[in-house]
Amino acid sequence: MSLTRPDTEYAPDPDLPQRWASRYIKHYFRHHPAFDAPNPQTLKQARRWIIVWAAMAGIISGSLIGGAEWWMRVFAADDWEAMSLKEQLPYWAGYMVFAGFITVLEIGFLYWNALRGVSKISRLAGLRYGQGEPLSPEIQLTVHGVSRVALEYPSPGSLIYGVDPHAYLHGWKLTFKALLYRLKISLSSFILRLVLRRLLGRLTLRGFLPVLTGPLYAVWNAWIAARITQEAYLQARGPELVQHIMETLANSDAHTRYLVAQGVGELMMRNQHPHPNLVLLLARLLDSLPDKPTALEVDWPTALHDYAQLTDPNRQTLLDTLTQATLLSGSYRGSRKRFLNDVFATCQTPLQKEKVASLQRRLLSGQKL
């Protein structure tokens, strides 16, 4: 384990699709100069077009597949309802081949759109990768992260500096989560179409399915594209904001930085995901400690006890830093919200939700926290 190479800690052995995705992003970086700071207006426009292209793919594929079934029922066969299942089988076989072909084309386009999108969003977010220069470990970590986002890969389950992201996810839950991810990646659109065909089968006879499926697939694709681009933006902002956090911790004592590291490790386990921004922050925190440990044993009950003993200004430093770390790992809800509630309650400090919401807006608008 190397504190200077968080990228290899996060992705020690990337598979072939991830290596291809990383090469695509690096190729994009080589041909497009980096920005010094985020460009909110251009970012908003770029993100909108990425979502629009994903929605258009859904409309076209949904209309083609829905229209093919409508044509099969109305024109390809005489008196479809009177045919037995055996007589219908050749038609269904041809339909499934056509639907599968269109689905493969759509998924391929969506992956390309996602890779192009995360590359562009990372650049516009102000990721300082240095055109024509070897990527630093921090930027390489971001490339690994946005590659996984574009491919919709599940959370890597390996230890991150001794922290197990799946510590709170055991047995059948872990297997079920991995299965859901694989279904979402490879079969989600196709399964959605089959479900809709069954639910809306009566409407098919009236010719309404092509009208309904196109918009439904568009909404589905647009939602995925919106989530991917927002996560890519957050990861691209990570290296600069982690550096800013470490600068604010420069004057704090080693014990406070250690307690912040405990909180970051616990946050990884609560999220059940080693977010690249948290991986980078944890590496920098461990490197700032006197003995520079390469692994962290998270002892949350003891950490909470130590949190309660802190006095100002160390307590406020800890709360501010963990708030920023929480927002760097995703939206303020769910496990992240519960984590901050626990920390602030332990420190007997009111959690000002308006302040957290303001910080999140500043982060998403390209400002420093």
Same domain (yes/no): 228, 262: no
Instruction: Give dist(CA 321, CA 340) in Å, integer.
Output: 11
Q: What pLDDT was estimated at residue 109?
A: 94
Summarize the confidence of residues 306-324 as an average pLDDT: 94
Q: What pLDDT was estimated at residue 90?
A: 83
**Residue 343 domain flag:** yes
Same domain (yes/no): 89, 47: yes
Same domain (yes/no): 222, 80: yes
Same domain (yes/no): 145, 106: yes
Among residues 217, 237, 257, the one where a domain terminates is 237
Same domain (yes/no): 233, 253: no
> Per-residue b/e over 118-155, b at no fewer than 16 CB within 10 Å?
bbbbbbbbbbebeeeeebebbbbbbbbbbbbbbbbbbb
Instruction: Give dist(CA 183, CA 70) in Å, integer.
Output: 27
Same domain (yes/no): 182, 262: no
Is 153 in contact with 67 (CB distance < 8 Å)? no
Question: Three-state DSSP class for 35?
Answer: coil
Structurally, the chain folds into a number of domains equal to: 2
Minimum mean pLDDT among 111-115, 184-188, 252-256: which range?
Answer: 184-188
What is the percentage of the chain residues whose pLDDT exceeds 70?
86
Task: Please state, in angstroms and as integers, the Cα–Cα distance from residue 146 to each residue in 82, 149, 195, 362, following that order.
Answer: 52, 5, 31, 21
Same domain (yes/no): 298, 344: yes
**Residue 369 domain flag:** no
**Residue 75 domain flag:** yes
Question: Three-state DSSP class for 167?
Answer: coil
Q: What pLDDT was estimated at residue 208?
A: 55
Same domain (yes/no): 17, 154: yes
**Residue 173 domain flag:** yes
Same domain (yes/no): 293, 150: no
Among residues 237, 267, 298, the one where a domain terminates is 237
pTM: 0.86
- 270: containing domain: 238-364
Per residue in 120-172, pLDDT tens?
A: 999 999 898 877 778 899 999 999 999 999 988 877 778 999 999 988 876 55
**Residue 1 domain flag:** no
Among residues 178, 204, 237, the one where a domain terminates is 237
Q: Taking Cα atoms as reference points, which of 362, 316, 338 lies closest to residue 270?
A: 338
Same domain (yes/no): 80, 157: yes
Same domain (yes/no): 61, 188: yes
